[in-house]
Structure 1
């Protein structure tokens, strides 16, 4: 017993100074290594306490045994509380640094910087760590919440996990920052693609982690959802909404060329809007072919949305106006759109 208590003190002592070490340049890997050690020790102490209490839970237990049990439980409880405090402090310090990385994150508002932002990677990496240590972290958060050290900001009826709230809070803070960054791009279409790349990345990471750890969530009925469920569902809607916004600012103007001919000039009685459409289409295609959408599924969704918006209208115009030799056939146009976003 004494050796174990000494071991716990040795583990807690350096971690009590971990925050200062982190500020002096400790790597993110070192930070998570320190937190993992504390979580394992705290979990081991909690399990040991539960077993000791269960082993001696009997009214017929001798008084001497009860005294020994009481002393053992008291010693272990004190160490558990000590490790719990160190774990909470380390967790809070890492969370603070992750939030600071969101605020400090900058982006070059050029077309080449529309992929996954460094703040997105930092936050999703932190969320992945929290989910991989879900039960012990949630136990620490529950204790912190009971003491008023942590107040969950987000929750739904039936969601009993404060860690769900912390994850959603982190994701929401990141998303707000990403929206602000998207407004710095001179081209609105670039800004919407930046948002799509990053929100889709967050959505996929949360969905992946959620599916791998489905048993961690309470589901009293099909109508009972956690705050994480609600947030992931909202991200689906946001991605679809930003696809519509992207189409509106990027491809709707191209399509409008077929219906808004320029005024007659130079004595021409019959003006065809087709050359203008072909020119704008070629320009937009050439530019966006170089833009990067790294996720294959999102890339497919975008291409299909563009094809669905452009091709039927273009085909109808060709047929209605008896255009026999267009610059692009509808099939060629569709094949070109399948080449977009390769970077």
Structure 2
């Protein structure tokens, strides 16, 4: 590996508003690894996509997972908003930080000295080796060498880098190269062809990585592909026509064309990978075990699919600022198709569950997470997506409808006091009752059956799971509005019965308190 090339102006002398300062003679050696440390400090994965780790202690994994490129996360405790939060993470954040570093490398004079060293025709790729070392991707130059196998290196126990770590480092370097070259060609008018050739050589070495890494990607294949796609597409925009010499512009056009070809290849790889994702979750033979065991919670395959769809949303969103809308339309169609597929898959897999109450709770939980992919519905009970409302009402009917059926319906309410917003004003409760001991015994027996049915349902479902706190609150209030308020109204019409249930600890307020403990898991 070649040693450090030349030196650059002092760290504090850089001013992006005055590129001419890089030509001043006041120079001194920079701190060692100055730019590399700055580049490494920029977070890429954390704000770009959700990871899907393999949990070593997991008692199960998707069928065929050992040969798969994907492992849905078994972490059921993550927030239901995690995917949507990742989708809102700004791709421009790390791009902006890397752009500042690249401009500093230009302003400090370092980038130009790399170009001069490259143009001097020194030892075999010495300038690129030094340049790539500072960019933290010196290992990329090995990929084009004969008999180099990136997959074998990654499988080597001595390797300290994962495929995702290499992708992150590559994304940072591509961004810095693209910014440095395009900034430099408008700064040094007399050397633009040389800068362009340096940029072409640098980017050509970098793009070899794409073919090498794709076969090596496993657990985070889709997320890595999307990250590279967004990076390459962003870089390609930078090589649009500039006010430079025709020779230099021709070379920059070549760089832009090569990046555009990689954009297409990565997009095709993403689409192909989504098909693999569908096959993985479709063929997972553990649905039948995990749905009942999960007590209605959001299934790991649902989270996995939602995270993948959010990656598609981000990939499509990265194209909207450009004049080219073809990719935007493609990703938009893929997102819509994937959402529809996931909804249909959940309906089909839910039929595995023999308990209709648990089935509808499972559908409500999972569709609620899917609904978060759209911002049309806020996360409160007034804004539940239509499908979620349907599953909520079906759950209430099959789980709690029989509880109220034990209250006599010999009359009709003269007014509705129930929570209409919950769709629960359906029960006909007697306005007056027939006096007499026989009727009193009948009413007492009915209330005893009501209380028994309530407690039985409550105990059976107490530890069922609704992770999202807003949805959990909506469901609790819906049950209270349908069951407890109807019960309360009936007792008010029969004060003698109200005293009895209070003495037994079954007052409406007590039942409401009990409902406040439902669905904690």
Contact 1:5–1:79 (8 Å) recurs in 2: no
Aligned match for 2:302, one of 120, 141, 148 = 120
**Hey, what does 1:187 align to over in structure 2?**
355
Closer/same/farther in 2, CA of residues 78 and 8 from structure 1, 3 Å limit: same
8 Å CA contact 1:199–1:239 kept in 2: the answer is yes
Q: Is the 8 A contact 2:476 2:516 kept in 1?
A: yes
Aligned to 1:196: 364
Alignment of 1:157-172 (within 5 A): 161-172=329-340
Cα distance change of structure 1 residues 144 and 6 upon mapping to structure 2, 3 Å threshold: farther
Confirm whether residue 339 of structure 1 aligns to residue 517 of structure 2: yes
The yes-or-no answer on 1:312 pairing with 2:485 is yes
Alignment of 1:71 with 2:250, yes or no, is: yes
Q: Does 1:325 align with 2:500?
A: yes
The question of 1:243 aligning with 2:392 is answered: yes
What corresponds to 1:61 in structure 2? none
Cα distance, 1:335 vs structure 2: 1.2
Deviation at 1:194, TM superposition (A): 0.5
Q: Secondary structure at the match of 1:55?
A: coil
1:56-76 deviation digits (Å, cap 9, x = unpaired) = 6xxxxxxxx44x266335413
1:294 matched to 2:472: no
Tell me, what secondary structure is at the counterpart of 1:283?
helix
The aligned residue for residue 234 of structure 2 is 43
TM-score scaled to structure 2, two decimals? 0.49
C-alpha distance in structure 1 between counterparts of 2:488 and 2:383, whole Å? 35
Query: Alpha-carbon deviations, 1:253-280, whole Å to 9, x = none?
Result: 111111379xxxxxx8843311111111
CA distance in 1, matches of 2:238, 2:513: 61
The 2-side partners of 1:320 and 1:143 are apart by 65
CA contact (8 A) 2:392 2:475 kept: yes
Are the aligned partners of 1:254 and 1:277 in contact in 2 as well (CA < 8 Å)?
yes
Q: Deviations over 1:199-221 (max 9, x none)?
A: 112223x25xx5xxxxxxxxxxx
Given that residues 239 and 253 in structure 2 are in contact (C-alpha distance below 8 angstroms), is that contact kept between their aligned partners in structure 1?
no
**What is residue 279 of structure 2 aligned with on the other side?**
100
* Aligned-pair CA distance for 1:100: 2.0
Q: Is the 8 A contact 2:315 2:331 kept in 1?
A: no
8 Å CA contact 1:197, 1:293 repeated in 2: yes
The offset of 1:292, in angstroms, is 0.9
SS at match of 1:273: helix
- Contact in 1 for aligned 2:350/2:362 (Cα 8 Å): yes
Query: Is 1:254–2:403 an aligned residue pair?
Result: yes
Q: Is the 8 A contact 1:15 1:86 kept in 2?
A: no
Gaps of 5+ in 1: 57-64, 146-159, 211-228, 262-267
| Alpha-carbon distance change, 4 to 95 in structure 1, aligned in 2, over 3 angstroms | farther
Q: TM-score, normalised by structure 1?
A: 0.73
Instruction: Give the gaps of 5 or more residues in structure 2.
Output: 1-195, 411-437
Computing the radius of gyration from Cα coordinates, the structure with the larger value is 2
The answer on whether the counterparts of 1:243 and 1:302 sit within 8 Å (CA) in structure 2 is: yes
Q: Secondary structure at the match of 2:385?
A: helix
CA distance in 2, matches of 1:277, 1:171: 41
Q: Paired residue for 1:33, among 184, 202, 224?
A: 224
1:12 aligned partner = 207
Measured in 2, the distance between the counterparts of 1:278 and 1:234 equals 32
Q: SS at 2:500's partner residue?
A: coil
- The structure-2 alpha-carbon separation of the partners of 1:86 and 1:139, relative to structure 1 and needing over 3 Å to count, comes to farther
Task: Tell me, in whole angstroms, the C-alpha distance in 1 between the residues paired with 2:256 and 2:513.
Answer: 67
Structure 2 residue aligned with 1:225:
none
Matches of 1:234 and 1:162, distance apart in 2: 29
Structure 2 CA distance for partners of 1:100 and 1:11, relative to 1, 3 Å: farther
- Checking the alignment, whether the CA contact within 8 Å between 2:462 and 2:520 is kept in structure 1 is yes
The 8 Å contact of residues 138 and 161 in structure 1, kept in 2 or not, is answered as: no
Distance 2:520 2:463 in 1: 6
- 2-structure distance, mates of 1:181, 1:81: 40
C-alpha contact 1:196 1:239 (8 A) present in aligned 2: yes
**Structure 1's 342 and 136: CA in aligned 2 closer, same or farther, altered over 3 A?**
closer
Compare 181-190 and 127-136 and name the one that shifted more: 127-136
